[in-house]
Amino acid sequence: MYQAPRGTQDILPADRPYWRYVTEAMHQVAGLFGFQQIDTPIFEETGLYVRGVGEGTDIVDKEMYSFQDKGGAEVTLRPEWTAGVMRAYIEHGMHVWPQPVKLYSMGPIFRYERPQAGRFRQHHQFNVEVLGEMDPAVDLEVMSVAWTLLTRLGYRGLHLQLNSTGCPVCRPAYRQALVAYFAQYEDRLNDVDRRRLTINPLRLLDSKEEAAQPLLDAAPHSADYLCEECATHLATLRTYLDAAGMQHSINFRLVRGLDYYTKTVFEVWAEGIGAQAAVCGGGRYDRLIEELGGPPTPGIGFGMGIERVIASLRQQGVQPPPLPAPRVQVSPLGEPARVAAITLVRDLRAAGIGALYGFGGRSLKSQLKGADKAGVAYTVILGDQELADNVVIVREMATGEQARLGLPDVAPWLRTRLG
């Protein structure tokens, strides 16, 4: 038997209210802030991601769905949004648009990972980017989109985690300080952390190894190593966050796995998705566009995992509004009536009234049972007897009250009843 590939899932009709609720809100909030939607291809030239995300990152080294197409081109299924959006910014000369350019996207992301709670091989992200502006108010703007959205969705107990990982000017010194600090305790680190020490020392701060915990509190904080520019940027941003009423905490252990981040990094944490607390993560990437061959252009953005948002909303007991469904069923009895009902259903739908047709020539009892399950407000009974008189019986399901109506009067009558 075929099964959905590992780490993928079908989004069934029963899940759809949540998806609609969440994605609608994303469009609305993005619009509220003046963001415009952009969609980029679901696959790109592999080199774009290798260059954009960075060699040495887990995503590039072991998580990409890369393959050769029939023409021999090396392509990769989108493992994150940013690189593709940057490519589009450069390709379409968006640096001549009024700056900053504010873009958002929504769609599937592919990573070859071992699935677990809140982690899949195909998941969906809401992605937001602002290009072409260094102003810390832009950092605030981006975080504010996430904050406004999550709040509007009905979240309680959100945590905004903030840090600055510096820039090419100040990061090397910090990195060195970290290495020096942990090197003196090398014998107390286990294998995983010792490997991190050489490969990516910043990630040591995020270690969950027990042996490392006592060492972390006293480890050097990036904030103490920031250059003037980065320090000012962070301080100003915090002022703005306070002004916006966005509670946040500096988490000096917040480091992110993608190479391109400079200065601001942040995550929003929520509960209910197992060990994966981050529902949203992002930061500033002031070198990326240049790295990809465009003009020097600062940028900042975040990705938000839609599956994680939905999982935690469920866990918090947030109920999405029901999806619109047909309010009327037409139940014909007998073949001539079945023919007439075809026309009636067509007319109802043309009048904007969602209508179901009673299939299969079933008994009235069976059709009413079906209408009940479908949750319609009215059932229009059209038997051969009614047809002879050119009338129908309209049954209000909630009360069981029935009315006889002339066939041409059905649509207007239902229209006023259904609003």
Partner RNA sequence: GUGGCCAUAGCUCAAUAGGCAGAGCAUCUGGUUGUGGCCCAGAAGGCUGUGGGUUCAAGCCCCACUGGCCACCCCA
Based on CB atoms, which residue is closest to RNA, 70 or 80? 80
Q: Scan residues 55-114 and list those touching RNA (CB under 7 A).
A: 57-59, 63, 80, 109, 111, 113-114
* Cβ neighbours of 293 (radius 10 Å): 11
Judge whether 408 and 342 are in contact, CB under 8 Å.
Answer: no
Examine residue 286 and tell whether it contacts RNA (CB under 7 A).
Answer: no
Examine residue 390 and tell whether it contacts RNA (CB under 7 A).
Answer: no
Q: Scan residues 325-344 and list those touching RNA (CB under 7 A).
A: 333
197: CB partners within 8 A, 6+ apart = 179, 182, 183, 186, 189, 204
- In the block, residue with structure tokens 């990061």: 171
Q: Which one of 14, 71, 208, 324 is in contact with RNA (CB under 7 A)?
A: 208
Return the structure tokens found at 46: 């592999």
Please count the residues of this chain forming the interface with RNA, following the rule CB under 7 A: 74
Q: Which one of 20, 194, 221, 362 is in contact with RNA (CB under 7 A)?
A: 362
Binding mask 113-152 for RNA (x = CB under 7 A): xxxxxxxx--x-x---------------------------
Q: Scan residues 296-315 and list those touching RNA (CB under 7 A).
A: 303-305, 307-308
Examine residue 278 and tell whether it contacts RNA (CB under 7 A).
Answer: yes
400: CB partners within 8 A, 6+ apart = none
Based on CB atoms, which residue is closest to RNA, 58 or 229? 58
The bridge status of strand 299-305 relative to strand 262-269 is unpaired
Examine residue 365 and tell whether it contacts RNA (CB under 7 A).
Answer: yes
Q: How far out from the chain centre does Cα 166 lie?
A: 28
Q: Which one of 15, 209, 290, 291 is in contact with RNA (CB under 7 A)?
A: 209
Cβ 334 to RNA, closest distance in Å? 7
- In the block, residue with structure tokens 């593709």: 84
> What residue ranges in 49-195 does DSSP mark as E strands?
66-68, 74-77, 101-110, 122-131, 159-164
Q: How far out from the chain centre does Cα 198 lie?
A: 34
Cβ 393 to RNA, closest distance in Å? 5
Binding mask 243-272 for RNA (x = CB under 7 A): -------------xxx--------x-----
* Cβ neighbours of 31 (radius 10 Å): 12
Based on CB atoms, which residue is closest to RNA, 20 or 362? 362
